[in-house]
Amino acid sequence: MRKLFDFHGGIHPPENKHQSLSEPIRPAGIPRELVLPLSQHTGAAAAPVVRPGEQVLKGQLLAAASSLVSAPVHAPTSGTVSAIEERPVPHPSGLSAPCIVLECDGEDRWVELPAPPADYRELEIPALLERIRDAGIAGMGGAGFPTAVKLTSGTHHHIDTLIINGPECEPYITADDSLMRERAADILEGVAVLRHILRPREVLIGLEDNKPEAIEALRHAIGDQPVEVVVFPTKYPSGGEKQLIEILTGRQVPSGGLPADIGIVCQNVGTAVAVRDAVVHGRPLISRITTVTGEAVARPGNFEVLLGTPMHYLLEQAGWDPTRSGRLVMGGPMMGFTVPHPEAPVIKTSNCLLVPTEKELPSPPPAQACIRCGLCAEACPASLLPQQLFWFARGKESEKLEQHNLFDCIECGACAWVCPSHIPLVQYYRAAKADIIQQRRDHEKAEHSRLRFEARQARLEREEAEREAKRAARKQAAEKRAQAAAAEGGEDPIQAAIARAQAKKAAQQQAPEASPEEKAAAARQAAQAKLAKMQKRLADARAAGEEDKIVTALEASVKKLEEKLASLEEPTA
């Protein structure tokens, strides 16, 4: 028996997992329209390679990875690209982001896929990674970090342990559980690919002890492969990458570091299946298993959903009663976020849609005062002092926050769950983190601007100095010439120049000055010309249907010119 370790803190919220486990995984079907956000992962958004109106087939590339940390997007079914536009996306802000909208034709015709290799073991590792990258796989557990990037960084380190993340510690969610129950063989096939890429010393599949069926299925599928299923007591958040690593190995990922730094790579079970589909069958990531649960759906369960499926469509498949649900949560009740628009699509990281009734998960009551009871510190899996962080976050004391390791907070919500005063602690930490990151950025920007300002200042001074030097040189040269001329007994050129200048000035003074009337007339003429020009521009702008802003600005300048003209004409009138 493997020695298990424990992580600090943790909580035992009601699991509520049985609701969605009564039925096997169901296909959600093809909706009329799919909405595919260009950014379904951590990193840069993908760049579209199709145009509106284009016919696409299932599995065809729609948007390509735009940088190293990015993932492509593929068509989950066949149809027509109807638009590339801003649509509401699943994001806590409820804002919109660029999406490819696909009108489905219902035929579900596959594109011709590149032939999968007869045996992937014969491929070079970079070629395998390329396949995974091209399949658009991003961590399916919820964070959505592009898998190929994670694996590539893994190949740069010596990896001794590959951990397959299967505890699924969040209440309500059973997507991974049902996947392990029903598709254990697929998971193992994916694990074999990962093993081939990373060549770890050992492979562990970590599970909580509340999933006996999944454990049984996995053990059965493993057979004699060198993969070990490790079962440990249920405790939230054992599925957190850092916590899982501590449970299984007793080691901690250094703060700010990656698991690869200590020779560990973690992959979610869903990711393993996606890797298998990509490498063994050459299929891109176009669907996923999503749990739909909560008391506001009549038939909760797990669905195989095409990416881009609008959430309300999926919810309706499970018998959703919109009047009963107070909120729509993507993810679990501990770390999920509320989605204000049910038309937002299911994306690569949507492991669960939770529609609880108000009774099931009541709205947060008003926060009471923190009584410093310390329950949060006891529950914190990162051994932080949440209530101190709370005080500092309220006081916006960035230095103190960093001193108390705010950035090691994984936002698991255990502190807020136990808080007797119902303080929304996690929100405080999120806001404080964003604030500090913003400050850092501002500071970097200021420093950058300062350098540029100083460089410019230095350049201007240098130019001035150069000009000064040239002037001095010319003056010197002139003096020399003068001296030379004087020495030759000729006329001093400087004296001559001064004399010329004086003569010119005298002549000018004698000439009759332009009368004030003439001056005014000239000014009037100039103003009239300007006005005419401006009026023409205004007319052009109106004709061209320019923006209101521009038109108003032009109107204002026309008016100003007219006034000026009027004031010029006044004295003569």
Partner 1 sequence: MAEFIAQQPLLAALLALAGLGLPFGALLGYAAVRFRTEGNPIVDQINGILPQTQCGQCGYPGCRPYAEAIAAGEAEINQCPPGGEAGIQALADLLDVEPLPLDAEHGEESERKVAYIREDECIGCTKCVQACPVDAILGAAKQMHTVIASECTGCDLCVEPCPVDCIDMLPAATGLGAWHWELPQLASRNVEIIATDANPKQAAA
Partner 2 sequence: MKLLRVSSPHAHGPNSTQRVMQQVLLASLPGVFVLTVFFGFGTLVNILWAAVVALACESLALWLRKRPLGFYLGDCSALVTALLLGIALPPYAPWWLIAIGVASAILMAKHLYGGLGYNPFNPAMVGYVVLLISFPVQMTSWAPPRGLTENVPGLLDALRACFLPGQFDAITMATPLDVLRQNSGLMMDDLWAQAPQFGRWAGIGWEWANLAFLAGGLWLLYRRIFTWHAPVAFLASLALMAALFYDGGSSASGGSPLFHLLSGATMLGAFFIITDPVSSAVSVRGRLVFGALIGILVYLIRAWGNYPDAVAFAVLIANLCAPFIDHYTQPRTYGHRPPAREDA
Binding residues (CB under 8 A) for partner 1: these are 39, 89, 91-93, 95, 97, 364, 366-369, 393-394, 424, 427-428, 430-432, 434, 438, 442, 445-450, 452-453, 455-457, 550, 553, 557
Applying the rule CB under 8 A, the residues between 155 and 214 that interact with partner 2 are 171
Token pair 């510690």 is found at 169
CA distance 568 to 13: 82
Determine if 117 is a binding residue for partner 2 (CB under 8 A): no
Question: What pairing do the DSSP bridges indicate for beta strands 61-64 and 73-74?
Answer: antiparallel
Closest separation in Å from C-beta 171 to partner 2: 6
Query: Residue 160 or 321: which CB sits closer to partner 2?
Result: 321
Q: What does 244 interact with, of partner 1, partner 2, none (CB < 5 to 8 A by kind)?
A: none
Token pair 């136990």 is found at 418
Which region, judged by CB under 8 A, interacts with partner 2, from 201-209, 326-334, 457-465, 551-559?
326-334
CA distance 355 to 352: 10
Applying the rule CB under 8 A, the residues between 229 and 288 that interact with partner 2 are 242, 246, 252-257
CA distance 42 to 71: 9
Among 47, 125, 385, 521, binds partner 2 (CB under 8 A): 385
Which region, judged by CB under 8 A, interacts with partner 2, from 83-91, 329-337, 518-526, 563-571?
329-337
Query: Residue 110 or 391: which CB sits closer to partner 1?
Result: 391
Query: Residue 58 or 404: which CB sits closer to partner 2?
Result: 404
| Interface characters, 63-102, with partner 2 (x: CB under 8 A) | -----------------------------x-x--------
Query: Residue 366 or 489: which CB sits closer to partner 2?
Result: 366
Query: Residue 446 or 478: which CB sits closer to partner 1?
Result: 446
Contact 24, 182 (CB under 8 A): yes
Q: What does 134 interact with, of partner 2, partner 1, none (CB < 5 to 8 A by kind)?
A: none
Determine if 24 is a binding residue for partner 2 (CB under 8 A): no
Q: What does 551 interact with, of partner 2, partner 1, none (CB < 5 to 8 A by kind)?
A: none
289 contact partners, CB below 8 Å, separation of at least 6 = 25, 175, 176, 178, 179, 270, 302, 303, 304, 305, 351
In order, the DSSP letters of 349-402 are T--EEE--BTTTSPPPPPP-------HHHHH-TT---HHHHHHHHHTT-HHHHH
Determine if 13 is a binding residue for partner 2 (CB under 8 A): yes
Closest separation in Å from C-beta 300 to partner 2: 16
Q: What does 553 interact with, of partner 2, partner 1, none (CB < 5 to 8 A by kind)?
A: partner 1
Which amino acid is located at 487 in the chain?
A
Q: What does 372 interact with, of partner 2, partner 1, none (CB < 5 to 8 A by kind)?
A: partner 2
CA distance 228 to 418: 34
Closest separation in Å from C-beta 17 to partner 2: 13
Closest separation in Å from C-beta 507 to partner 1: 35
Determine if 350 is a binding residue for partner 2 (CB under 8 A): no
55 strand-pairing partners: 80
Among 91, 244, 404, 538, binds partner 2 (CB under 8 A): 404
Residue count, binding to partner 2 (CB under 8 A): 75
Query: Residue 279 or 353: which CB sits closer to partner 2?
Result: 353
Determine if 344 is a binding residue for partner 2 (CB under 8 A): no
Among 173, 260, 286, 384, binds partner 2 (CB under 8 A): 384
Task: State the DSSP H helix or E strand holding residue 83, giving kind and residue range, or none if neither.
Answer: strand 79-88
CA distance 339 to 349: 14
Q: What does 525 interact with, of partner 1, partner 2, none (CB < 5 to 8 A by kind)?
A: none
Contact 75, 104 (CB under 8 A): no
Instruction: Tell me the CA distances in angstroms from 359 to 200, 294, 299, 324, one per residue in order.
Output: 47, 11, 18, 10
Query: Residue 374 or 490: which CB sits closer to partner 2?
Result: 374
479 contact partners, CB below 8 Å, separation of at least 6 = none
Q: What does 317 interact with, of partner 1, partner 2, none (CB < 5 to 8 A by kind)?
A: none
Contact 531, 520 (CB under 8 A): no
Closest separation in Å from C-beta 39 to partner 1: 8
Contact 30, 105 (CB under 8 A): no
Closest separation in Å from C-beta 312 to partner 1: 21
CA distance 440 to 239: 31
Which region, judged by CB under 8 A, interacts with partner 2, from 39-47, 55-63, 355-363, 435-443?
355-363
CA angle 60/62/67 to nearest 5° reads 120
Distance separating the N- and C-terminal Cα atoms of the chain? 108
Contact 303, 27 (CB under 8 A): yes
Determine if 394 is a binding residue for partner 2 (CB under 8 A): no
CA angle 275/280/284 to nearest 5° reads 55
Determine if 335 is a binding residue for partner 2 (CB under 8 A): yes
